[in-house]
Structure formats: structure tokens, C-alpha cells
A and B are shown apart, each in its own frame.
Chain A
Amino acid sequence: MSANLTFPKGGVHPPELKGLTEKLAIEVMPLPDELELILGQHIGAPCTPTVKRRDEVSEGALVAEVTKGLGVPLHAPAAGSIKALGSSAHPLRVSAPSITIKTNPEAAPATWEVQEDWRQSTPEELLKKVHDAGIIGIGGAGFPTHVKLKPPADSPVDTLLLNGAECEPYITADHRTMLEKAEEVVEGGKILLKILGIKTCVIGIENNKPDAITAMSSAVAAATEAGFDIRVVALEVKYPQGSEKQLIQAITGRKVPSLALPSAVGVVVHNVSTTRAVRDAVVLSKPLIEKVITVSGRGINRPANLLVKVGTKVSDIVEFCGGVKPDLARIVLGGPMMGFAVSTLDIPVTKTTSSVLFLTEDEIDSRELSNCIRCGWCLEACPMGLEPKEIGIYVEAGRPEDTAQFGVFDCFECGSCAYVCPAKRPLVQFVRLAKMKAKR
């Protein structure tokens, strides 16, 4: 293990607040009555349903497939019947087309067994399995995994990074996965290495999770094998350590050029939970139908790390976690830095949901914004070296189309600037408005 690595520029230190759930083992949530499967789980065009109303489906059966653009198919998370092809609440798009499945509590849960030795398969066969299992980057971005595993021919990849930074406050889903399923993550890493045809894999974990670092290190040591060079590194606790470009710079020292993909510097990054899903897809032929999420915040009676079916509604999770407290002020899907506040409980968990936070008034900041005082704190906090204050000022002045000069498209909306802003300016919101109007 080497010294604590980090990215060179910017970053912030929000309170970690992981204590609410980091010691809690992953619980399996009982099957809810209804699952709402949003068709556009990944980045790109939504899937097209292959089922009709009243169709019976079994657990893991294909229910929607890709008809255009990038994407991965969708599978039924549980046995049941198709109740409706309608629309569901969506954290970003407000409402999105979905499939509602009425689950069958009588049906025996599917069993997933080790089928064959993946070492005998070719990389192409493994890649097809990853695609067919519907695997996308479940850390949050939702980029189809099989696309990232096929880097363009002109930029050969030499290093695979597994992202276990989990730098967002509150969230402990990846932490618990690394702790409880370390061997599976390491096996998934080996499968990814085989698909990419490379040897080197580095697992980066922020050092506020020493138990996860120990667990992963011993799993790596126990699975030592010729042809696979896997190691674990500790990262400094600093937000946004888990951002793709920041992680690459922290671990390899390589700087991804503006607007380029990590493959431009010979690196591919996958989240540890995605890696585990890849392992399940290849070893067990199990599609991505469930995921570990963190339910946390002081506004929920019983914080937990839950293994839920994709499509489980937040209202069912609230019920399972003992309801909300009366001083609940805000519900956030995702982390407090990059997540989205929602105003309904009828919203389903997608493959990219990593947490549901129930925050009370003292955990949020609802002060009104004021004018920019040009203190420059946002410049210091920005990990991409941008000038968030200028983007905000331009948007307020009605000139969002002129913000490309401030590198607005390099911003990945980590929220560090808005976090430090003493004037409480919604700088990420300004950036989103600017991106709508500015031209690349």
C-alpha cells in the first residue's frame, strides 16, 4: 500500500456523515408488491418494451431491448405480471416511460448458480455477456459498461482502475459491498482485465474506509494469479476523489485532456459495484436486476444499507425503514453533493441510484442566494480549474451562450463550488443553464 494519493487541484472536505450506516451490514429488502422499471436507465435512447400488458414474466427475463443508439437491455427484477406500460416519476426527467410489474409473492426466487469457468471464454463472449446482462455504470453515470470495455483502436488501454473512493457524504453502499463481497469484486476485476486484454488493475479506496482497504487487500492477496497484477491503493479523503478524471490523476498521474475520454490516456475506470455486477453476469449469468443502496439521513427512522430490486419505489423503502421523522425537510436521490431533490415518494430506484437520503432542516441549507462577492473560493474549490463565479455571473446577466470560454463543458457538476460559496449561489444550477445554451 502506498501513501495517500489525491488529485492536485481544488476539492473540498464536506462532513462525511457515513457513521449512520457504515457499520450496518447489507440487508435484503423483501419483495415489494409493485416494481416500476424505467426504460431509460442508461445514458442514451430508452429501451423498447418486448412485453405486453398482462404478460407473465419470470425473474431475470428480458422485458425491454435496445432498438437504437447505445444501450443495454432491461430484465424483470422479479417474477410477476406486467401491470402497465406507462410512465413513472424520474429524478431528472420528472416523468419517463416505464414498465410496471405486479410481483408474484408465490413465485420462488430464482437461483443463480456458477455455470462455467469464465477463463475458458474469449473476451468477445465475455463482452457479450456483459451487454446481455444489462450492465451500466451503476456508480451514478449510467454509461453502458460494454462500450467502456471496447476502447477505440487508436488509444490502447494499459490500466484498469476500480473506483472504490465513494467520496460523497452519507453513502456507504460501495463500502459495504467491498467489505462483504471483496472476493467477488476482485474476480470481477479479473474478468474486466481479461476482456480488455491487459494486466494492470488498481483499486482506489478513500482511507476513511480502512476496513474496506484491509478486506480488499486480503482478497487481492488471496486471489493472486499469474497474468493479473492487481493492487489496492489508499486515497486521501477529499471530495470529488471518486470523479473519473480526478481518480485517474490521483492514481496514475495522467491528466485526461479537456472533453476527452479516459481511454485517451490509456485508462478505463469502473465502479466496484459495477465490477461486482460484471462478475455476477459472467459467472452466474445473472442480469443486473438488484443493487445495494444506502438509505440514510436524520429524517428516516432506521438508516440502512439495502439490497433492493431495480424498480423498487421509494415509498416501499420508507415503509421498510420504519417511516420518516416529522422534521423531514428534503428527499435526495443520490448523494448530497450531486444528487437530485425530489418531491414524491412514488419514484422508483434505477440502476444508477446509489442512495436515498432523508434530510432534516439542520442537514440542509435553505438560505436564499445573494450576489457574488468575487471572493474566489469557488476557483480554489474547482477540481477542474474553472471559474464557476464567471459562469454564474454570465447566466444571471442573460448571456449563458457566452460561457464556453470558461470551460463550462469541462464541468462535471460535482458541486464543490456551490458547497464553499459564502453567498449561497447555486453555481451548479447556473452551469446547467449555461450548458443548455452554450455551444461546444
Chain B
Amino acid sequence: MDPELLKLALGGLVVLGCIGLFFGIGLALAAHKFAVESNPLIEEVLESLPLANCGGCGYPGCEGYAIEVVTNPDVPPNLCFPGKEAVAEKVAALTGKKMTAVEDTIAVTRCSRVEGKVKQKHKYIGFSTCTAANLGYGGPVSCPYACVGLGECAAACPFGAIEMVDDFPVIDPDKCVSCGVCVKTCPKKIIEIQTMKARVWVPCSTKDAGKAVMGVCEVGCIGCKMCVKVCPANAVAYQGNLVIIDHAACIAYGPSCGEACVEKCPRDIFRHYQGREVVARAADTGLKMAG
């Protein structure tokens, strides 16, 4: 090889190498001087979380929760809904916080529009989300509390647990982790988080008087308060024209009441909660259910 060229090549290598070394040392010094203190515990907690970033805990994503649960002593370790008990235990162990029970909950829709043959008041044309349709004179459905049916909850669910069947959301109990994103999304506020162990539920959230309900829906709650009267456990209340069930009291009383509320409801809107069947089905498949 031409020695001139060889000299040139070697010279180039030396010059570039020196530049590289100079910047390398510079970067190393900078990294040392401006190092960001990070708490290794946060990293560890973050790794134990499911990283679904659903926001169900109320913090901005999994990292937000990890930082809060480590730095703020008042934040409990059991806020991760998708992680359930396993994650809560890990987080409690890592942060040294007291492990509190994780109740197995699920999102339920408090509306039966599909079977209730709720009347339509108009045809909606426009941006196809429930919130947008709700702006136009309360949406196309006559009942002001009924599901609009454009599937904004299904689109928002980070776990794909909601499927729209006949324009009505059907929640898959195996996929739902009760993160609460759908509860925040629904403009009619008909989705609730309820314990999996609930024995009964009322799939209607109307606050209208009985006459108005009769006019628009075949299965809506008419507020006759029969359920309140027959419940031996005083677990059913009627607040603001809405049936509210105290599930803890209902479960504590047990099945000896023969589910009088379900039997007596003249509109057949007081129902056995199918979540129990869900639990039974899950038990068959060997899936661990809490509680």
C-alpha cells in the first residue's frame, strides 16, 4: 500500500479517536455531575405493576402511581385494579405498607335499554360518540337516563372488555378489571363499579317519576319502593329517585331472605346478579378469585 495513504488513514484514525475520547470523557463527567437521583424502589414498584396505564388508580399511568405509592405514605398499596391481589401484595411488601383487602369488583351497566324497548325521540346525525349525541337534546333515546349506545365506553376501555351488542355495551367479566375508565367516559353515568359478590342489582338508573318512566320504557324502575319495604336486611334504599343497594348489608344477611326484592319487583327490574355465576364459572376453570 502507498505509505502516503497509510499515513493519511492512520492520522485520520488518531484524530477521530482523540475527538471521541474527549467527548466521551466530557459526557462521563456530565453524567456524573448532573446525575438525576432516582429512587430504586420506584423502579421496582413500577416493574411489579401491569403497565397497562389505564389510570384506574386515579394517577397518570403506572409510573405516576409508583411514584405516589412510594413517596406518599397516605396512598394505599391496593389501588391497582388490573393487578388485583397479587400486585397489591407485591406493592405492599416493597413499600412496607399494610396490605388491605382487595375486593373483587366489576363494572356493570345500570340500564336495560335493549330489552326495555325504550322509545327513540329522534334520529341523531353527527359525530358518532355518546357525549356528542348527548349534546343534541339529550341524545336520540327518549329516556334521559338510558344508554345512548354509540359505544364510547367500548372505545375507551383499555382492556377491550366491552363489546357493543345491538348498540348496547356488554361487559366481559373475564376481561374487566374495574379500572373505572368507562365510568368516567359514559355521559349518562350509567356504569357503576360493583362488588363481584353482589347478590342482586337493578339495571336501571332513571331518576324520573314512575309516570314518566312508564311512558318511555317497559322495564324501567318506577320507584314503587316495594324492594325497600320487603328487604329484611334494610339493605335497599331509595335516594334521589334511585334504588341504592347496600351490598355489604345484603351479603351479610345471606340468602335466608329468599331474595324477596327480586320476587316482589313488579317491573322485574330487581334481578339476581349474574356476577355470581361468573365467579362460579371462574372457579371451575381454576382461576383464582379474591374473597
Q: Which A residues lie at the B interface, using CB under 8 A?
A: 91, 94-95, 340-344, 366, 368-369, 395-396, 426, 429-430, 432-433, 436
Contacts and interface: CB of A to CB of B under 8 A. Distances in A.
A368 B131 contact: no
B8 interface: no
A392 to B, nearest CB: 9
A432 B127 contact: no
A369 B144 contact: no
A343 B121 contact: yes
Nearest to B133: A429
B137 A429 contact: no
Interface in B122-172: 122, 125-127, 131-132, 135-138, 144
A261 B126 CA distance: 32
Interface in B11-61: none
A421 to B, nearest CB: 12
B144 A436 contact: no
A340 B125 CA distance: 14
A369 B137 CA distance: 19
Contacts of A430: 127
Contact of B135 (A343, A396, A432): A432
Interface of B: 121-122, 125-127, 131-132, 135-138, 144
A366 B127 CA distance: 12
Nearest to B125: A366
B143 to A, nearest CB: 11
Nearest to A347: B137
B126 A426 contact: yes
A429 B126 CA distance: 9
24 contacts: A91-B137, A94-B138, A94-B144, A95-B138, A340-B137, A341-B136, A342-B137, A343-B121, A343-B122, A343-B137, A344-B121, A366-B125, A368-B125, A395-B127, A396-B127, A426-B126, A429-B126, A429-B127, A429-B135, A429-B136, A430-B127, A432-B135, A433-B131, A433-B132
A362 B127 CA distance: 22
Classify the interface of chain A: helix, strand, loop or mixed: mixed
A50 B110 CA distance: 37
B150 to A, nearest CB: 13
B291 to A, nearest CB: 35
A364 B137 CA distance: 17
Nearest to A340: B137
A94 B135 contact: no
Nearest to A368: B125
B137 A426 contact: no
Nearest to A430: B127
Contacts of A94: 137-138, 144
B131 A436 contact: yes
Contacts of B131: 433, 436
Given A395-B127, A429-B135, A433-B135, 7 more contacts: A340-B137, A343-B137, A344-B121, A369-B126, A426-B126, A429-B126, A433-B127
Contacts of B138: 94-95
Contacts of B136: 341, 429
A426 B127 contact: yes
Contacts of A426: 126-127, 132
A343 B137 CA distance: 8
A137 B135 CA distance: 23
Contacts of A396: 127
Nearest to A89: B137
Contacts of A342: 137
A63 B121 CA distance: 32
Nearest to B138: A94
B218 to A, nearest CB: 20
Contacts of B135: 429, 432-433
What 8 pairs between A and B have smallest CB-CB spacing?
Answer: A94-B138, A343-B122, A343-B121, A426-B126, A366-B125, A342-B137, A426-B127, A94-B144
Q: Quick one: which of A343, A396, A433 has the most chain B CB within 10 A?
A: A343
A436 B137 CA distance: 16
A372 to B, nearest CB: 12
A433 B133 CA distance: 10
A240 B135 CA distance: 23
B211 to A, nearest CB: 11
Nearest to A427: B127
Nearest to A333: B137
A143 to B, nearest CB: 22
A342 B138 CA distance: 10
Contacts of B144: 94-95
Contacts of A343: 121-122, 137
A341 B127 CA distance: 16
Contacts of B121: 343-344
Given A94-B144, A429-B127, A341 B137 contact: yes
Nearest to B142: A343
Contacts of A91: 137
A95 B212 CA distance: 12
Nearest to A425: B127
A208 to B, nearest CB: 30
Contacts of B122: 341, 343
B60 to A, nearest CB: 13
B125 A429 contact: no
B197 to A, nearest CB: 34
A231 B132 CA distance: 44
Contacts of A366: 125
A399 to B, nearest CB: 13
B29 to A, nearest CB: 39
A95 B145 CA distance: 12
Contacts of B137: 91, 94, 340-343
Nearest to B155: A398
Nearest to B129: A433
Contacts of B125: 366, 368
A330 to B, nearest CB: 9
A430 B127 CA distance: 8
A436 B121 CA distance: 25
B113 to A, nearest CB: 17
